[in-house]
Amino acid sequence: MMQYIPYNIPFIAVALLMGVALFIILFKRNLIKIIMGIAILGAGVNLFLVTLGYRAGGVAPIYTVAPEGVMVLPVPQALTLTNIVITVSVIALMLTMVMFTYRHMGDIDAKKSRLLRG
Amino acid sequence: MEYLTVHSPILIVAVPLLAAFITPLISRIGNKFRDTVNVSLLSFVTFLIVILTIDIYANGTRVYTLGASVPELALPENYMVPVRIMFQVDGISIFMGLTTTVVALAALVYSLQFVKNETGQDRFYSLFMLLYVGMIGLEFTGDMFNLFVFLEILSIAGAGLASYRVNMADAVEGGFKYIIISAVSALFVLFAIGILYSEYNLLSIAALAHSMQFTTLDLIALALLAIAFVMKLAGVPLHMWAPDTYAVAPAGITPMIYTSSAASMYALYRVTFTLYGGHFDTTAIGWVVIILGVLSMFIGVMMAIHQTDIKRLMAYHAISQSGYMLLGVGVGLAVLTDPVALANYGRDAMNGGIFHIINNALYKGMLFLTAEAIFFRIGTRDLNKMGGLGHNMKWTTIFFIIGALAISGIPPFNGFASKLLIYESVFRFNPLLSIIAMFVSLVTLASFTKVFYSAFTGPEMPAFKEVREVPRSMLIGMGIMVACIIFFSIFPGLVVDTIVAPATDALIDQASYINGVMGAVP
């Protein structure tokens, strides 16, 4: 039992990050905080993907100069890279929208910016 | 011709992508030139879609593998699993592709005059093409990760377009809600893909379906995927973004975002039928889909009744109509493992649900366009301030009547054809569900009657004396949709037999989807 715990620490971190992120997205009203929630959610998913690909003592998956031994999985790293790029662009877009909301409403509290209701 | 057919899956994705990125360049030559290029490129894509449709209905699933010596070669030599990126187009994919393309063409033509006096037109058309690429890629892709990537393309482009009119505060708010929902659901999808990859070391949908074990982890992944896609398609517990976003998006974009929710619905069906189907008793998940559908139908229409904003009202109706699609296909899913019931009514229910997708994309999209045509001319979406518009906007009125009758399921329009299929077959599954569906249809009619009376009839109001009919390109855009609606209304049987039934078969027949890729594996 005990020897598995070090391997599971990243997964526990993933669960914590995603839980915190979902809490923030659902219950915070400040738009900037909601964006932070999305960023944390993205980070949680990235950590999950990288951890999946990790092999203890593995080397970088480059075939040309690979030393003996196991390699870490390359595909999850490619997925992570793509996701980092996408998350950055989503966050940039959201920040522009918050900027415009602030210009119109003078506030970034989701409670007060309720033009669309009912 | 043969060459075009073979390479059409990639061309259909690549050509609009090219259009998206050359738009800012070619608009330096002139706006008219840019519009011509965009419309002709999209027409070319429509032509490719038609070629591909004919080919798929004749020869079955088509696989296009990127980087392979022959595009059909899904498995590299000496490999047991597909490792390359591929598009896999079967009946339901091409059906959705056809729907998307018709709506996109109509919306693009409509937008030509609509955004003529706005700033940032180049970006509008770039994002429009990207939104189209996102939808079509989501429908054609053969692996889970590209599904995520195209979902994100669709979301980012859609959110950017929804808040295109940044001078209006509510537009920004609607776009922001859309991007939050999209970001969360896309990350859920990616998390689920991670879980699936950790178990099977595969990303291809067919290969995953082939080796699906249906463990607890798979169940968690299924739940995450289902939540994400229901969020994107605005099923009822997670529908709160849809009225806001649909109401504020510029005309031409609302039908596109609506169709993109239909694309998410396709993704939900793809996951439940193809990825998870055949390995377990789908009755439970079928009932979940049915309950979601009934809730969407009922709550959507109830929320629509008291709306005074015309687009918001229509947005709630859009949610309500999505319920019909979920109901029809959910019944099919619930009886998937029971061959007798499937042949008796399950297949018809699915035909109805899938037929409703294209019908609804057409008439709902058209109704959104008429609503925005009114907004274009009189500058308000408030029903209480409208009246007597039928005197001056004759074509818009006619189009609205056709759309309203079709959405309420009045014979002989196409909404009636698909709803009748759903009523009949669902009645044999569970009479109560069918009765709820009919009731919802009645309330829809009542609600659209209200819109018709308050917007179009009555004496000519002095404030709107100068209102003229909308410009020609907007009429053509609506006309494309009306032509399709009328065609579908006159020949519903033909349409069901030629394009809907193959789509249903493609969903039911999981084995042929898997064999399309894994055929060489013993």
For residue range B251-286, what is the model confidence (pLDDT) as tens digits?
Answer: 788 999 999 999 999 999 888 888 887 767 778 888
Parallel/antiparallel/unpaired status of strands B62-65 and B86-89 = antiparallel
Whether B13 has its CB under 8 Å from any CB of chain A: the answer is: no
Whether A115 has its CB under 8 Å from any CB of chain B: the answer is: yes
Mutation choice for A interface testing from B190, B240, B299 by most A CBs within 10 A: B190
Using 50, 70 and 90 to split pLDDT, how confident is the model at B522?
very low
Q: Supply the pLDDT for residue A92.
A: 93
Please state, in angstroms and rounded to a whole number, the distance separating the CA atoms of residues B436 and B439: 5
* Sequence letter at residue A43: A
CB pair distance less than 8 Å for A90 and B152: yes
Residues B273-301: what's their mean pLDDT?
A: 84
Answer whether 0.90 is exceeded by the pTM.
yes
**Domains in chain A: boundaries:** 2-105
What tokens does B453 get? 């009376």
Q: Which range among B130-144, B148-162, B325-339 shows the weakest confidence by mean pLDDT?
A: B325-339
Whether A39 has its CB under 8 Å from any CB of chain B: the answer is: no
Q: Which CATH class is domain A2-105?
A: mainly alpha
Please state, in angstroms and rounded to a whole number, the distance separating the CA atoms of residues B394 and A73: 63
Residues A60-85: what's their mean pLDDT?
A: 82
Nearest to A113 among B173, B190, B307 (CB): B173
pLDDT tens for B397-421 read: 888 888 888 888 888 888 888 888 8
Selection from B49-53, B77-81, B341-345 with the highest mean pLDDT:
B49-53
- Of B107 and B378, which is predicted with more confidence? B107
Chain B hits for A118, Cβ within 8 Å: 306-307, 312
Q: Supply the pLDDT for residue A113.
A: 56
Residue A118, pLDDT above cutoff 60: no
Residues B13-42: what's their mean pLDDT?
A: 89
Please state, in angstroms and rounded to a whole number, the distance separating the CA atoms of residues B194 and B186: 12
Residue B463, pLDDT above cutoff 80: no
Whether A106 has its CB under 8 Å from any CB of chain B: the answer is: no
pLDDT tens for B222-260 read: 999 999 999 988 888 888 888 888 888 887 889 999 999
The alpha carbon dihedral of B128, B226, B207, B338 has a sign of negative
Work out the minimum CA distance from B184 to partner chain A, whole angstroms: 7
CB pair distance less than 8 Å for A45 and B149: no
Using 50, 70 and 90 to split pLDDT, how confident is the model at B192?
very high
ipTM of this predicted structure:
0.92
Q: Supply the pLDDT for residue B43.
A: 92
CB atoms within 10 A of CB B424: 14
Q: What percent of chain B has pLDDT over 90?
A: 17
Residues 191-230 of B with CB under 8 A from A: 191, 193-194, 197-198, 201, 203
Chain B hits for A113, Cβ within 8 Å: 169, 173
Residue B12, pLDDT above cutoff 80: yes
Instruction: Collect all residues with Cβ–Cβ distance below 8 Å to B154 and sequence separation of at least 6.
Output: B131, B134, B135, B138, B182, B260, B263
Whether A100 has its CB under 8 Å from any CB of chain B: the answer is: yes
- Start-to-end CA span in chain A (Å): 53
pLDDT tens for B325-347 read: 899 888 888 888 777 878 888 88
**Domains in chain B: boundaries:** 281-490
Nearest to A100 among B172, B191, B306 (CB): B172
Whether A10 has its CB under 8 Å from any CB of chain B: the answer is: no
Q: Which residue from A minimizes the CA distance to B151? A: A86
CB pair distance less than 8 Å for B174 and A116: yes
Please state, in angstroms and rounded to a whole number, the distance separating the CA atoms of residues B147 and B225: 11
Residue A11, pLDDT above cutoff 60: yes
Give the residue among B483, B408, B486, B478 at the shortest CA–CA distance from B449.
Answer: B408
